[in-house]
Structures are given as structure tokens and as C-alpha cells.
Amino acid sequence: MSNNAYSVYGLRVHAEIACPELPFHPQPDGNPDVTIRLLPTLPSTSESDESGCYEVRPGVFRLVVKGVGRYLVEEGSRISIEPLAGSSTDEVRLFLLGSVIGALLYQRGLFPLHGSAVETTWGAMIFVGAQGIGKSTLAAQFYRRGYRLLSDDVCAVTTTDGKLQVLPAQAHFRLCADAYERLAPAQAARFNVDKFVVPMDEGYCPDAVPLKAIHVLADQEDGDPQFEVIRGFDRVQRLFENLYRPQYLKGQETQSDLMRLAGRIVQRTPMVTVSRKRDTEKIDGMIDFLESAWAEHFGSNPREENK
């Protein structure tokens, strides 16, 4: 089976399954950090085949999705997939690029947040919040305004030389149907019921970017958007609430590293709540609002000064 070489979260991934959502690795040769293999059957296990059933042990993660596949992630470097009868490759990939990659991030000690990240002149801005709160829609609007995206859906934070960084992830973003209709180029592919994948190219940032701030998106009934700094213990709570698949944390070999990383994030990173009335017509105004809030809180935009 041929191997496709991809680059995601700074990792070289060799996959036996084609993943159009992932950017190709610029240097396809070389030793992979992660291999993704398709197997006719996974080594037998004691777990039941109930859908959504998962198991976390040090260095081992298993997931069974009924009618789709059985997944095994080992030592942060090997992903094995047994597609089940009747499954489509789209379905197999949906869980591979979601839960399974999420478990891989845990195994590698990378802190996974459920949200989108955008590269700005201040640094990487992360947007988290409840399911359907508009994270991808906002990211898509940043993309339209010429910003490069670091990730959609799952952000990975790590430390490099003591500095917190956001790693570049998937070169695609997932949108709700209404946002999709406003933004979508013709090549967008239908992925599942209400999310669409819009392939990205130059709108994608391939490098790790220092983490600047974490934004928790919230709805409000009416009035002007609010940009409120989160203080104290709430910072820890908001961070853990927005962890991607938080149930995968316990039992990981890297749990202690991840807790320390969480400590660093809450100590060093500004966290804010951004409340607004959701309105796809006015989403462009949200970008202006955020740009001026950032200038106010983090200093004027270097890009503006150079004009």
C-alpha cells in the first residue's frame, strides 16, 4: 500500500489512507513521527464492541466506533485502523482526524484544546467555546480577511525552549451549513450532515506560532460585543472545560506533563471571554472588534504601524 506523507501538528505522518484534509509534507522522504496503517483485523482485545467505547492506558488508546472502525494508538507514534464492514473512507477519516488524532496528541504530551487558532501579528489567537458557538465560522472569516489559520477544531499547545506555542494542524475547516453558504468556494466537499470541509492552501500557516491569548466565545442576547479578561480560578476552569476529549486525559503516561503545561498556560496566557450576538451578516464587524480589542490590550498592531 502506498504511503502519503503529511505534516500535522509539526509531525511527519505517513498514512496508508489518503487524507485530503491534511497538508502534504514538504519533504516526503524521511523517518515518520507517526504511521497510520490499515489492518484487516486489530490484535484482539477484551473490550466490548459498543459504539464510542474507548480505553486509555499508558501508551495505549483504543476506540471502537460501531459500523465504522476500530482504532488503536500506541506510544504517540503508531495508529492502526481496522475499518468495519459497510464503512466509508469518509467515515473512517472523520474519527481518525477527530478523536484518534486527539488521543495521539495526549500521548505525545501536547495540550489539545477544542477550538480554532489564527496567526496574527501579536501571535497565535485561540478561539474555544461550546459546540456550535461559531469557532469555525469566525476562523473562516479571519481567513477571508487575509489571516492565516493554524488549526480548526483541535489546537495543540506545546512548549519550545520554555515558550508556549500553537502547532499548525489541518489545512481545512469545518463549517455549519449557514456559514458555508456565505463563504464556500465551489470545491467544498460535503463531509457529514451539517459540517463542510473547505480545503485550504495559502490561507494556512505551516509554522508553529507563539501563543498570545485564548478566547472563550459566548452568546449574548443583544448589545455590543464584550471582551472581558478572565481572572483567577476561572482561568483554570475555562481551560479544562475546553480541553479536547477531556476524558482521554486520565490514565495517560503524559498526564503529569500535561498538568504542568496547563499550569504554565493559565499563568502566562491572557484569557478572555468574547460575548456577542451571533449574526453571520455582521461577522466581519467581529473581526474589526477583535482587532481593536487586541490593540487595546496587547499594544497596537505592528502591521498597521508600518503602513
CB of 164 to other proteins, least distance (A): 15
Nearer CB in complex with other proteins: 130/262: 262
Stretch that binds other proteins, among 150-158, 216-224, 231-239, 284-292 (CB under 8 A): 231-239
Q: Which of 8, 11, 79, 249 binds other proteins (CB under 8 A)?
A: 249
Does residue 267 bind other proteins (CB under 8 A)? yes
- Number of C-alpha atoms within 13 angstroms, CB side, residue 186? 0
**Residues of this chain, 61-90, that bind other proteins according to CB under 8 A:** none
| Among positions 31, 231, 281, 305, the unique one binding other proteins when judged by CB under 8 A | 231
User: Is residue 22 within the footprint of other proteins (CB under 8 A)?
Assistant: no
With binding defined as CB under 8 A, does residue 235 bind other proteins? yes
For position 262 contacting other proteins by CB under 8 A, the verdict is yes
d(CA 304, CA 295): 10
CB 213 within 8 A of CB 127: no
The answer to whether residue 260 forms part of the interface with other proteins (CB under 8 A) is: yes
Distance CA 11, CA 32 (A): 8
Residue 259 touching other proteins (CB under 8 A): yes
Beta-bridged to residue 61, according to DSSP, are 56, 73
Q: How far apart are CA 120 and CA 159, in angstroms?
A: 19
Query: Which one among 58, 206, 263, 302 touches other proteins, defined by CB under 8 A?
Result: 263
Is residue 65 within 8 Å of residue 100, measured between CB atoms? no
What distance in Å separates the CA atoms of residue 208 and residue 169, rounded to the nearest whole number?
Answer: 9
User: With respect to other proteins, which residue has the nearer C-beta, 16 or 55?
Assistant: 55
Beta-carbon contacts of 267 under 8 Å, excluding residues fewer than 6 positions away, are: none
What's the grid cell of residue 17? 489512507
307 binds other proteins per the rule CB under 8 A = no
Q: Are strands 34-38 and 11-15 parallel, antiparallel or unpaired?
A: parallel
The answer to whether 255 contacts other proteins (rule: CB under 8 A) is yes
Binding site for other proteins (CB under 8 A): 231-233, 235-237, 240, 249-250, 255-256, 258-260, 262-263, 266-267
